[in-house]
Amino acid sequence: MNDRWQASRAMVAQRLRVFCYVCGSIMLVTVAAPSAARSAEFLLKNGLLVSGDASKISSIGENPLAPKAGAGEVDVAPIVVVDNELTRTFFNTWMVASPPDRAAPPVEKIRIRQRVATSGKQINIVGPILSITPFDKWGRRTFSMMSGGGPIQVMQGITEITPISTRVQGLQLPGQSYVWDMRIATSSIPRQTLSEILRTGLDQGDADARLSVVRLLLQSERYRDALEELQDAIKQFPELADLKKQILQLRQLSSQQWLREIRLRRDAGQHALVVRWLQDFPTDDIAEEARLELRELLSEYERKAQDGERVRQLLKTNIEQLEAGQQRDRVAQACEDILTGLNFNTLGRFADFLRLSDDPNMIPEQKLSLAISGSLLGAGEATDNMAVTLSLYDVRRLVREYLNLATDQSLERQQILDQIKSLEGGTPAMVAKLLSNMAPQWPMDGIAVAPAKISVTREQAPPANDGEQQAAADTPEPQDTQLSPEGYFHVQVPVKEGSRPVGYFVQLPPNYDPGRRYPTVITLHGLGTTPHLMVDWWAGAYSDRMRMRLGQATRHGYIVIAPEWADSSQKRYQFSVEEHRQVLFTVRDACKRLAIDTDRIFLSGHDMGGDAAWDLAVSHPDSWAGVIPIVAVSQYLTNDAPMYIARCWENVRALPMYFVAGQMDGDKMSRNARELDRYLTKSGFDVVVVEYRGRGHEHFQEEIQHIFQWMKSQRRILFPREFAAASMRTWNNYFWWVSLAKFPDASLVPPTGWPAARGAKPVETTGAVRPNNSLSISTGVGEIAIWLHPDLVNFDRPITITINGRDHREGWQPDLAVMLEDVRLRGDRLNPFWARFQTQTGRGGR
C-alpha cells in the first residue's frame, strides 16, 4: 500500500512539473489539456475583443471550413470569421485595429462522459421552444420544442466544458434519438449546478481531475469557486500542500475582481453604492497594491465630500458678506437653487469657485458669480460677472418655461422668446450651454410599478414564439405601488385625441441623478413577450435584498426603456408609420423627462422587435449610437413583404450594428445573407454578426456582456462630413442635418403597396461638408430644410449652401427661435440646431 501511495504521489509530482498555467500573479501547475489550435485574438476598431480560430470567407452563407473559390481564381475574402466553439463572429477585415495576437494560452477542457447519439434523426432546425428542464447532476436535461410533426423531446447531455462554452449533445436512448450538437455559454450554467455536474462527472479520487476544475474556474474568473475547490483538493490530497500559497493569491484575485466592479459602478455614477461597498470591503488577505487602491478610492470620496461641504460653507459665508438688498436676495435664491443639485456628479461645475475661493483680489460677489454660473454653464465656463450670471439664471428659468409650453401655445412661446432675447445671457451660444447642463424639463411622473415576477434569464425561461406566448400568459402583471425604490415606471405619452396611446416602461439605474447623462437602451419586445421581459433581459432580475436589479444595464449605469410599440394581436412587424411613431415618440418623450445622453441611445429588439429595430436603423440612422437586432429578419417570405431594408441598405454606413442569431434558427441566416454580405464585404460599415452554434430562436442572454463591451466605445455620429440616404416612405424624411418634403411619387411605396410597381426606386439624398465653410446637397425631393450647427459651419464667416448645383448665400446667423423649437420638439438638449434654411428644389412631387 505504501509503495502504491508513493507511486501515486510521484505521478502527481510529475504532473505538477509538466505544465505551468499563469494567470496574473497566480500559478497553478498541472497537466495541460489536450492540444488544440491556438486562438487568434482580434482587437476591432469599435473596441470589441474577439478570440477564437480564425478564417476568411467571401459570403456569410459560406462554410468557413470549405470556402468557395473558382479554379485558377484568387479568392477575395473580406469577411473574417472567428470561432470560439460557442459562437462564430463575422466582421470585415477593415474593422481590425491591429494584427491578431496569436499568443493566447490554451484553455482548459473538461470532458463529461455521456452516451452521445451517433444515429437517429439529425436536428438541423430548432423549432419553437416549449420548455427546457434544468441540468441534473449528470449534466442532462430535456429540451422540448415544436417540429413539423408536432412536439418532440430531446434528451441532451453536457459532454465538454471550457471556460467560455459548454458542449451539449443529443443522447442515445432506447427509443427515438436525436443527433444534435449545440453550445451554450458556461457562464449561463448556475454555479451550484455546474459544481454538481463537475463533481459527478469527474473522478473525485484523481488529484489531476480536481485541479482541472480549479483551472477551469480560474480561467472563467470564478475566483471564489476556484478557491473553494482548491482548498477541498488540498484537504483531500496532502501531496498538494505546496499549492497552499496559491490560496492567498486566489483571494487577492477575488479582491481585484471586486475592485474592478467597484470602479465600474463608480464610472456609472453609482456613488452611494460604491461608498457603502468601500466601507464594507474586507481588507484581510488582499495585496498591498489593492489595499492602496482601496484607500485611494475612499480618500477620493472623502475629498469630494469635503469639497461639497466647502461649497456649502463658502456660499453661506460669501452671501453674508453681500450688502442687504434685492440683489442679495436674488443671489441667495440662486445659491439655494444650485445647492439642491450639488452632489458627486455635479461637483466639478464648482471647480473654478473652489480654486479661487481664497483669492484676495476677488470680492464675494465675483466668487458667488463663479459658483452660480459654473453650475449653470458647466465646468470651465464660469464667469465672475454677477450681472451676466443673474441674467443667465433668469434665462434658464425662461427656457424651461418655453420648453414646457404646448404646440398650440405659440403666442406664449413668442412672448417668452422676446424676454430671453432682451437679457444679456440670452444669446444662442449661452442658451446652448444652459441647455446642455439643464436637468430634464419634464418631471418623471410615470406610475411606479413593481418588477415582473418572471425572469427571462432563469433556467426555464422560454426564448421565443410559442414558448414566449406561454411565458407571457403565465406572467402576472406588475402591481402599482406608491413607491418604487428600484426606479421602475410606466409612462403614458400625451397624444392627440383619437390617436393610439403611446406608453413605455423605464428602468432607471441605481443612484439615478438628473444632473448626470446616462446611456440608454431602447428595447423592442418580440412576438408573445412583453416590455417587462425586455427590461428584465437588459437590467436583470430584481433582488429584494439589494433593492435593485442585478443585470448588466444596472451594473453599467444604463437607462432601459421598453416601448409598448406593438399591437397586442400583432403577429409580425408591419413596417408602418404607427410602429415608427410608437418608438420615436417614446424616445422624444423620455429625453424630455430623463437625463439621457442623446449621443448614446442604443436601439435593440428581439424577434419581430429585432425586425423593427433593423428597419428603424435604416429609416432613422442618425437617431442611434448603435443598433442590436437579435434573431431578426430583413424581409418576410411573402410576395407582399416590404423591402425597405433591402432597398435602403446603404443608409446604415455610418451606424454601428451588432447582430445576434442562432445557427439553426430556420433559414434566417440565408434569408439575411444578402444584406449582411453587403455590410460585411464593403469597407466603412461597422457591423458585427454573432452566430450561436447549434442554437435556434432564442433570446441569447449570454451575449449581453459582449454587447456592453461593444456599446462602451460607440457614440452617435450626428454631424457626418458626408452621408447618403435613400427613402421610400414620407415619414422617413430626416437624415442627420437635412429634412425632406415633397417626395416624387415614383419613390413612394407604402407598406401595403408591395410588391412595388416597376420603376419604383428610393429617392436619394447626399450631403457633404466642403472646404471654405460650405455645404453641398443633392436630392430628388421637392423641398428640403438644412439644419445648421457650429460643428458643420462657422457662423462668423460667410456660409454657402449648394443644393442640386445652385448656390445659396443668405447670411445665416444663429437663431434662438430655431434652437428652442428644436429642443422642445426633439428633446435633445445636448445637440440643438442653431439655424435652419428651407427651400424648394424644383424637383420631387407631393
Each residue's pLDDT tens digit, 23-75? 333 444 333 333 333 478 899 999 899 988 888 999 887 766 555 544 444 45
The domain in which residue 185 lies consists of: 107-201
What is the structure's pLDDT at 41?
A: 86
Neighbouring residues of 86: CB distance < 8 A, sequence distance ≥ 6:
164, 165, 183, 184, 185, 692, 693
Average pLDDT over every residue of 143-155: 90
Number of domains in the chain: 4
Question: Could you give the percent of the chain with pLDDT greater than 90?
Answer: 62
Q: Which of 149, 179, 201 is the last residue of a domain?
A: 201
Identify the three-state secondary structure at position 671: helix
Under 8 Å between Cβ of 197 and 137: yes
Task: State which of 44-48, 564-568, 786-790 shows the largest mean pLDDT.
Answer: 786-790
- Residue that has been written with the C-alpha cell 406608491 in this structure: 482
* Residue 3, domain member (yes or no): no
CA distance 220 to 218: 5
pTM, 2 dp: 0.88
Helix or strand (DSSP H, E) at 447: strand 447-448
pLDDT interval class at 239 (50, 70, 90): confident
In a domain? residue 93: no
Flag whether 207 is in a domain.
Answer: no
For residue range 91-133, what is the model confidence (pLDDT) as tens digits? 999 999 987 766 566 789 999 999 999 988 999 999 889 999 9
Is 108 within 8 Å of 163 (Cβ atoms)? yes
Same domain, 419 and 454: no
Asked if the structure places residue 781 within a domain, the reply is yes
Q: What contacts 24+ positions apart, CB below 8 Å, involve 300-307? A: 301/271, 301/274, 301/275, 301/344, 304/344, 304/347, 307/347, 307/350, 307/354
| C-alpha dist (Å) from residue 58 to 63, 74, 85, 632 | 10, 12, 21, 22
Cell of 530: 412583453
Q: Where are the beta strands (DSSP E) in 585-625?
A: 596-606
Picking from 55-64, 720-729, 737-746, which range would have the lowest pLDDT averaged per residue?
55-64
Q: Measure CA of the first residue to CA of the last residue in the chain; give whole Å.
A: 96
Q: Is residue 544 part of a domain?
A: yes
Identify whether residues 752 and 812 lie together within a single domain.
Answer: yes
- Reduced to 3 states, what is the DSSP secondary structure of residue 298? helix
- Which residue's C-alpha cell is 438688498? 325
Sheet holding 835-840, edge to edge: 734-735, 738-741, 783-788, 835-840
User: In this structure, are 517 and 625 located in the same domain?
Assistant: yes
Contact 836, 785 (CB under 8 A): yes
What whole-number percentage of the chain has pLDDT above 70? 88
- The answer, yes or no, to whether residue 555 has pLDDT greater than 70, is yes
Indicate if 431 and 451 belong to the same structural domain: no
Highest-pLDDT range among 224-238, 499-513, 785-799: 785-799
Over the stretch 677-696, which tens digit does the pLDDT of each residue have?
999 999 889 999 999 999 99
Whether the bond between 151 and the residue before it is cis, its omega within 30 degrees of 0, is no
**Whole-angstrom distance, CA of residue 376 vs CA of residue 572:** 47
Residues 6+ apart with CB under 8 A from 765: 724, 725, 726, 727, 735, 738, 740, 777, 778, 779, 780, 781, 784
Same domain, 448 and 433: no
The pLDDT tens digits for 280-302 are 887 777 777 888 888 899 999 99
Give the Cα separation of 662 and 51 in Å (integer): 19
Give mean pLDDT, residues 498-520: 90
Are 549 and 625 in a shared domain? yes
What one-character DSSP code corresponds to residue 171? B
Q: Say what the pLDDT of residue 538 is.
A: 96
Sign of CA dihedral 626, 610, 743, 764: positive
Shared domain check, 519 and 431? no
- How far, in Å, CA of 158 to CA of 111, rounded? 8
Tracing cell 403611446 back to the chain, one arrives at 502
The verdict on residue 230 lying in a domain is no
Q: How confident is the model at residue 602 (pLDDT cuts 50, 70, 90)?
A: very high
Please report the sign of the dihedral spanned by the C-alpha atoms of residue 402, residue 407, residue 412, residue 416: positive
DSSP 464: S
56-81 burial, b at 16+ Cβ within 10 Å, e below that, comes to: ebbbbebebeebeeeeeeeeebbbbb
Judgement on whether residues 427 and 456 belong to the same structural domain of the protein: no
Instruction: Please check whether residue 703 lies inside any domain of the structure.
Output: no
3-state secondary structure string across 483-533: CCCCCEEEEEECCCCCCCCEEEEEECCCCCCCCCCEEEEEEECCCCCCHHH
Q: Report the range of poorest mean pLDDT among 46-60, 257-271, 385-399, 457-471.
A: 457-471
Same domain, 395 and 483: no
Confidence bin at 467 (pLDDT 50/70/90) = very low
Closest to 538 in 3D by CA, of 596, 611, 457, 473: 457
Of 385, 406, 437, the last residue of a domain is 437
Question: Which amino acid does the sequence have at 303?
Answer: R
Identify the domain boundary among 437, 452, 481: 437
For the ranges 174-183, 376-385, 543-552, the lowest mean pLDDT is seen at: 543-552
Residue 7: which pLDDT band, with cuts at 50, 70 and 90? very low
Regarding whether 495 and 622 lie in a shared domain, the answer is yes
Average pLDDT, the chain: 86
| CA distances in angstroms from 666 to 113, 165, 182, 276, 587, listed in the order given | 30, 23, 15, 49, 33
Segment 604-642, tens digit of pLDDT: 999 999 999 999 999 999 999 999 999 999 988 787 788
204 phi-psi bin (left φ>0, alpha ψ -120 to 50, beta other): alpha
* DSSP one-letter string for 94-151: GGBSSPPB--PPPPP-EE----B--SSEE--S---EEEEPPP-TTSEEEEEEEETTEE
Q: What gap in Å lies between CA 345 and CA 65, rounded to an integer?
A: 52
**Shared domain check, 420 and 312:** yes
Model confidence pLDDT, tens digit, residues 400-436: 999 999 888 999 999 999 999 999 999 999 999 999 9
Cell numbers 473580406 correspond to what residue? 78
| pLDDT > 60? residue 481 | no
CB 772 within 8 A of CB 794: no
- Rounded Cα distance, 414 and 424, in Å: 18
Half-sphere exposure of 767 (CA within 13 A, CB side): 24
Q: Residue 64's pLDDT is what?
A: 60
| Cα-based distances in Å from 467 to 58, 131, 154, 727, 838 | 36, 7, 16, 36, 51
| 763 vs 777: CA distance, rounded Å | 13
Query: Is the backbone of residue 693 left (phi > 0), alpha (psi -120 to 50) or beta?
Result: beta
Residue 472 is predicted with a pLDDT of 30
Q: What is the reported pLDDT for 12?
A: 40
Q: Does the pLDDT value for residue 393 go beyond 60? A: yes
pLDDT number for residue 324: 82
Who's near 51: CB < 8 A, 6+ residues apart? 39, 40, 41, 42, 82, 84, 104
- Scored b (16 or more CB within 10 A) or e, 187-206 reads bebeeebbbbbbeebbeeee
In a domain, 55, yes or no: no
How far apart CA 196 and CA 800 sit, in angstroms, is 72
Beta strands across the sheet bearing 806-808: 722-727, 763-770, 774-779, 800-803, 806-808
426 and 451 housed in the same domain: no
CA–CA gap between residue 549 and residue 486 (Å, rounded)? 7
